[in-house]
Amino acid sequence: MVGVYVTTVTTIQIIGGKYHKMEEASIEKRLKNEVEKIGGKSLKFVSPGTTGVPDRIVLLPHGKLIFVELKATGKKMSPIQEYRAKEYRALGFDVRCINSIEKIKELIQEVII
């Protein structure tokens, strides 16, 4: 039986006709690896006492910094995460929500140009 199964932290992503579970942790690991391949760092961001901060601070060559919120495939940011993203953008920072391998590829292509 073929189908798409969804839980609170897992969805199925179809890549090349095959079904792949894309949990947030898998996407996070892939982001870290891809950023390191181009000479950057993907640091876990924790801010005690401040809710809704992005999961990662991505440091790239030439002084580029991107805050990244990671989600399971198809998931979106919560209202407090949206608020923080808006707050950081107002300060001039780049904030992204990545919820698929495709979005990681798009980010990497954008920053290596």
Domain 23-112 has CATH 3.40.980.10: no
- Model confidence at 107, pLDDT cuts 50, 70, 90, reads very high
**For the chain, which residues make up each domain, given as ranges?**
23-112
Q: Which tens digit of pLDDT belongs to each residue from 5-56?
A: 444 444 455 555 555 557 999 999 999 999 999 999 999 999 999 999 999 9
Among candidates 111, 31, 37, which has minimal Cα distance to 71? 31
Q: Does residue 2 have a pLDDT over 90? A: no
pTM of the model: 0.80
Pinpoint the alpha helices (H) of the chain.
24-37, 79-90, 101-112
What's residue 65's pLDDT? Answer: 97
Among candidates 34, 99, 31, which has minimal Cα distance to 44? 31
